[in-house]
Amino acid sequence: MTVSDRLRMLPEWAPQEAVLLAWPHASTDWAPWLAAIERDYVELAVAIADEAQPLILCQDTAHQAAILAQLAGRCLRAPRFVIAPYNDTWCRDYGPVTVANEAGHCLLDFRFRGWGDKYEASLDDDVNRRLGSVWRAPLQHLDYQLEGGSIETDGRGSLLTTTHCLLDSNRNSGWSRPQVEQYLLEALGLTRVLWITEGALLGDDTDSHIDNLVRFCAPDTIAYAACSRTEDVHHAPLQKMRAEVEALRQPDGQPYRLQPIELPAPQVDEQGKRLPGSYVNFLILNGSVLVPVFGCAEDDAAVAALQRCFPGKRIRTVPGGNLIRQFGGPHCATMQLPVGTLR
């Protein structure tokens, strides 16, 4: 197999035809805030529909009708619905990872075990196979635990991830670092792994997914979470992470163009427990980037900083205050589906 024949993980900015969403319902952990989070999902779906088709998972025909009523007349592209039961709405972590070459696409269906057996996830783990009538690209099941929020690629052969999630958590026990690297590079068609070891956010039950910490914005550009507030518990670990990010190099040896993104003011739950708020949990679409905002002073600076990372795209804000109640953001809530993946 030549390099051009090799199936390679697509970067998030590859042209998209749809974006997967799993709509909140009363049997999910969103039950205490269902009305509020549904309003935010409406905003998320409407923003996505300006760029690509929303592919919405729902529980049954009644749930589909209720969602349609909320979206009525608001979506530029009509949403497509699939009835498929699911445990949780964070489809970034159980949706398919797309690899492609000049001949076509393949959807990789990794095992999902509730972020290392923290939560029941048997329905989530089966979603991709239940969507068989939707996929145009072949679906390949891989017996290895991996979540979409734990990996990033620059589109040039680099895999960016964290040691805490892939090596130091309750996933794939018994795998050494060389074994993990070899397996993922072969499965994703990539050539090297860039490891981040520092920077865990309080309240993050994913064991430091990369999509809350460090993100590729373009092949040569990285945005990363930062904290200049010296009194904040995140200041020291994010300073250490910054040093790691500054040491990263592009495949040709050149440094990346780096953009720190200050954490929002501390986000806390009803009991005062810190939540993992982060502006880098953004979703890249064809012509825009959806960024969570929290109604705090740091919002405007984050939007301006991300606009520098995406000079050719519109930065579009979406509510982040409710999504963070279940420890996520717009990136966690979605999975992009590149052109060529759907029937």
pLDDT tens-place string over residues 25-79: 999 999 999 999 999 999 999 999 999 999 999 999 999 999 999 999 999 999 9
Q: Is the pLDDT of residue 337 over 70?
A: yes
Query: In this predicted model, what pLDDT tens digit does every residue of 170-209 receive, in sequence order?
Result: 999 999 999 999 999 999 999 999 999 999 999 999 999 9
pLDDT of residue 4: 52
Q: Please report the pLDDT score of residue 5 as a whole number.
A: 75
- Burial readout 77-95 (b: 16 or more C-beta within 10 A, e: otherwise): eebebbebebbbbbbbbbb
Query: Is pLDDT at 2 greater than 90 in this prediction?
Result: no
Summarize pLDDT for 216-235 with one digit per residue, the tens: 999 999 999 999 999 999 99
Find the mean pLDDT for residues 110-118.
97
pLDDT, tens only, 238-290: 999 999 999 999 999 999 999 999 999 999 999 999 999 999 999 999 999 99
CA dihedral over 239, 241, 244, 249, signed as positive or negative: negative
pLDDT beyond 90 at 136: yes
252, 234 contact by CB (below 8 A): no
For the record, the structure tokens of 157 come out as 């052969």
What are the structural domain ranges in the chain? 3-338
Mean residue pLDDT of the chain comes to 97
Domain 3-338 has CATH 3.75.10.10: yes
Residue 334 clears pLDDT 60, i.e. is over it: yes
What letter represents residue 171's amino acid? R
- pLDDT more than 70, % of the chain: 99
Tens of pLDDT, residues 146-180: 999 999 999 999 999 999 999 999 999 999 999 99
Q: What is the pLDDT of residue 1?
A: 41
Q: What pLDDT, on a 0 to 100 scale, did the predictor assign at position 294?
A: 98
Does the model's pTM come out above 0.85? yes
pLDDT 10s digits, 206-221: 999 999 999 999 999 9
**Which has the closest alpha carbon to 86: 140, 126, 56, 35?**
126
